[in-house]
Structure formats: structure tokens, C-alpha cells
Structure 1
């Protein structure tokens, strides 16, 4: 239970799984090396739901960047936002590089992240929390 919540930012994103599949399979500009670090790919691994899980992580990265108020570019990369989920646990946000610098400047001390899938869509909502959260 959260008490004394200090919400610094909120971001939400919706991804069409079929569209993400097309981006991943496009040989001209492969999405995976630009957006995911190896540890994320290892955690997602292979399987029938791999693209769905990548779509959820992509939506989560977008939601985090929106909560930070940055988007990507100007010193912030998709790989600066890492999304992990241990079995049976809630997804976690880990920041590095430019995203970590922005979060520190804003006073972000924690995150709440939710990822959902339905009807060929992946959705994520991210709350950037500050002191007192």
C-alpha cells in the first residue's frame, strides 16, 4: 500500500502487437538492437508469446519516457530504460544513461509499472514517484 504518494509523472502507451512484429522483422532497420538490452532479451527468452512480451516491454519503455517528460532522443535512448520482471513479481524499471540523469534531476525515487495485453494490443502505464512515495 502506498501512503504519502508524490507522483512526479505519469505515462501511458498502447502498442499494436502486429505492428511491432513488422518493425522487428524489417531488415532495413531492426528494432530489437535499438530498443532492448541483452539482459531484457534473456529475461523474455523465446516462446510463442515472445512478440507479445516484447510489445509489452516496448509500451512500458514508452510510458516511462512519457512519465519523465522526455520521449527518446536528445541524450535519452530506449536502451536507457530497462524493464525486468521476475517470475511472480511486478515489472521493474531500471534506468541508465540519459534517462537516469533526467529522473535524478526530477527527483524520481521509485516507479510503479503495469503492463497488460488484450485483443492484439499491449498497454503499459508508468508512475514516476518522488520522495515520500
Structure 2
């Protein structure tokens, strides 16, 4: 049996690693706490060169944010309200908090698929947001 879902939106984002490297060098912990949850910061602290991982997570947050814009009030979603983690298989997963979680609940529980990538010079992500 195939269940039907409603496409809320698709978002994509690309970011230059040098831009993230410069941001982290200039703003350090201030930038880390602005963009990332405690769990995300803990994960990034385990990476020898966290720039690519940080950039991919910023791109994923922006992609999810863009994909949620069809929902009333979504423009007010903050960076830490979209958290990038890993599921049991190690695949990227999204957890929503605050306003983002409330909008998800009001929509019947959003399903979010996300894919991240990074190279030596850039990072990107695509997100698909669906509602039941």
C-alpha cells in the first residue's frame, strides 16, 4: 500500500568552505553557539578538520529552512531550531526544536529527508519536507 503525502517544499544550499573557515576563525565560539546545538558542537569537536562538516550542517539547516517556507511563520525559525544529527544507520537526520517543531506538529508531523556533501572547497545540502 502506498501512503499519500503532501510536498511542503524542497530546499538546496551551497556554501564556500573558505567563508565558513573565516567565520569560525573570526568569531570562534560565538559562531559555534549561534549556528549549532550542543550536540552538533560535540560532534564537530570530534572532527580533526571540522570546517567541511560545519559547512555541510549550515547548508543542511538552510536547505531545511528554505523547504519549510510554505508554512505560515517559518521565516522566524532560528539556526539552532534545525539540528543535524545521524540516524541509527549513520545517515544524516534532522531534529526540529522550538518554532520549527511547533510548525511540524501543526502540520501533522513533518517528514524531512536530507542529503549533505562537502569537498575541499564547498559544501551543500538538499532537503525535502513532506507532511502526512
Which bin holds the TM-score, normalised by the shorter protein? 0.7 to 0.9
- Return closer, same or farther for 1:101/1:36 CA change in 2, 3 Å cut-off: same
More deviation in 96-105 or 21-30?
A: 21-30
1:1-133 paired onto structure 2 within 5 Å: 4-27=4-27, 30-69=30-69, 70-71=74-75, 74=76, 76-86=77-87, 88-131=89-132
Partners of 1:88 and 1:45 in 2: CA distance:
21
Q: How far 1:29 sits from its partner (Å)?
A: 8.6
Give the TM-score of the pair, scaled to structure 2: 0.83
Number of aligned residue pairs: 127
Contact 1:60 1:123 in 2 (8 A): yes
- Structure (1 or 2) with the greater helix fraction: 2
User: Where does structure 1 lack aligned partners over 5 or more consecutive residues?
Assistant: none
More deviation in 4-13 or 112-121?
A: 4-13
- Return closer, same or farther for 1:102/1:119 CA change in 2, 3 Å cut-off: same
Query: What is the Cα-based RMSD across aligned positions, in Å?
Result: 2.3
User: Where does structure 2 lack aligned partners over 5 or more consecutive residues?
Assistant: none
